[in-house]
Structure 1
Amino acid sequence: MKKILIILALFLGNIFFTQAQTAEEKKVTEAVEFLKKAMIDGDKVSLEKIAHQDLIYGHSNGNMETKTMFVEAISSGKSDFKTIDLTEQTVKIHGKTAIVRHKLFAETNNGGVAGTVKLGVLLVFQKTKGQWILLARQAFKI
């Protein structure tokens, strides 16, 4: 009987841990969606909110931006996303750090020139004051 209770306790503990992890992954996924919407809308306030003060935003061409540069490029329309579709997204959480990978397909209009983008993206979020904030981003061509 004791063995059955131990096995049951381990099983229930595993279910609880899995659900807690899934709930946190959902919060990270919501942060990614918040970022995506802010980028499409060019919403400066939302971009400021989701971006960590020490953000490093890496582009697929090797250019790197700070938080200020990233927010300005998107909110001014210099870098203009009309649509963003994310596929094959994975979220892995390690303490207060979340690693998100996905493929990004987007329609852009940069400098009046319409274009499309197909990228692989790695995002690093940090949990700060209960919120998942974008700390780093690196894109690569696919």
Structure 2
Amino acid sequence: MKKFVLSVAASLLLASSAFASTADESAVNDAMQRLSAAMTAADAQQMKDLTADTLSYGHSNGLVQNQTEFVTTIASGQTKYRRIDLTQTVTTVTGDSAVMRDHFTGTVVEPDGKVNDVALNVLLVWQKQHGAWKLLARQAFH
């Protein structure tokens, strides 16, 4: 009987852990979709709310921005995203951290008015802070 109870308890722990992980993965994916929408809308407050104060946002050209630079560049219209599509997304949650990989395609309007179609691979690190998932780091690459 003792073995049976331990077996059931272990099964319940594994099931609850898998459910929590799936729920967290969904929450991280949702946060990424909201961040993409905020970037397209140039919504400074939403971008700030979805990113960590210590954000490190790396572009494929080597430029690295902090949270203020990232938000200001988009909110000011210096860089305008017309479209952002994320595919091939894989999200792995470990505790209060999550690693996300995806393929980013989009249309960007540069300050000189030039329209560019972009296709990049991206690595993102998310951290759960006070119950909310925040983007901590991002690096794009070709």
User: TM-score surpassing 0.5?
Assistant: yes
Residue type at the aligned position of 1:94: T
| Aligned-partner SS, 2:138 | strand
Measure how far apart 1:14 and its partner are: 1.9
Residue type at the aligned position of 1:127: K
2:60 corresponds to: 60
CA deviation map 1:67-109 (0-9, x unaligned): 1110011111111111111011111112211111100000111
2:16 corresponds to: 16
1:129 corresponds to: 130
Measure how far apart 1:13 and its partner are: 2.7
Residue type at the aligned position of 1:66: N
2:127 and 2:11 map into 1 onto residues whose CA distance is: 30
Measure how far apart 1:3 and its partner are: 4.4
1:43 corresponds to: 43
Q: Pairwise mapping of residues 102-113 of structure 1 onto structure 2 (< 5 A)? A: 102-111=102-111, 112-113=113-114
Residue type at the aligned position of 1:54: T
Paired residues in the alignment total 141
Which segments of 5 or more consecutive residues in structure 2 lack a partner in the other structure? none
Residue type at the aligned position of 2:125: V
| Aligned-partner SS, 2:18 | helix
Q: Is residue 93 from structure 1 mapped to residue 93 from structure 2 by the alignment?
A: yes
TM-score (norm 1): 0.92
